[in-house]
Chains A and B, each alone.
Chain A
């Protein structure tokens, strides 16, 4: 099941994908397929879009990659977040939270601030 609709604007999702990848890599080093699986569980994405994104993140110095042996089959390319990547992640998470809160306040006609204080 996908929690975010298939019809959701693909451009919007592209931006969110960067955030998702950085958050996953902040938890642990991952290989591409692993991230695709993890993200696909929650959001509908075209699987092929993640590799160009990873390539760009690498060029920008947000992540690095290394090869690691796996029990079954050839070595896999793992991605690791850099310090710079972590900073970027924090920034994107903060932006996302602000955005998501703003939208849900609007949708449900509430007035919740970032600390969770509610005045109705």
Chain B
């Protein structure tokens, strides 16, 4: 691979970066080639020593994605950052993708449980409220008089409140986990397993 091919490939691989930042990176590699050529090395030799542009681009992209997820907090940007970090190598794949999957599954499950509690609670409350009007409504426990109805309504309302509490708590926890995920991704990227370059002869 000669200088132009290398720089063109690098530019293409960094297409997700803002133009200014991409130009800055590519200019670094351009300068590296120019100085290397001045020192009498061939373009191919320098390209080889620099390492695969894919490896270089992956690292730069991952760092950019994590920075973006930090500045602009959204589910989409953290997902992109996790994906970019996991793509760095087998080490990162295992230590990023697996924990991310577990945490996301856990969050979704708890949100779902919260949701079920809220709607279930509302349903129970309504059922008990209307039970006197429709005596054989659904398969609810048999009418236990006015006290039984109050007890049922209380259980329903309590369940709804618990559900709201759980969802609220989860929203708070998710926010906290977001910050933690960013910190972990930064740390993980630093431990990146770079593909080996070629030794200078």
Contacts and interface: CB of A to CB of B under 8 A. Distances in A.
Secondary structure at chain B's binding surface: helix, strand, loop or mixed? helix
Nearest to B36: A33
B197 interface: yes
A99 interface: no
A14 B28 contact: no
Interface string B169-201: 000000000000000000000111111111110
Secondary structure at chain A's binding surface: helix, strand, loop or mixed? helix
Nearest to B60: A52
B188 to A, nearest CB: 10
Nearest to B21: A55
B122 interface: no
Contacts of A117: none
A47 B91 contact: no
Interface residues of A, number: 27
30 contacts: A11-B191, A11-B193, A14-B192, A15-B191, A32-B28, A32-B32, A33-B31, A33-B35, A40-B200, A44-B199, A46-B55, A46-B196, A46-B197, A47-B46, A47-B197, A48-B29, A48-B50, A48-B53, A49-B51, A49-B197, A51-B56, A55-B24, A56-B63, A59-B63, A73-B34, A73-B35, A74-B31, A74-B34, A76-B31, A77-B28
A14 B60 CA distance: 14
B108 interface: no
Given A14-B192, A33-B36, A52 B56 contact: yes
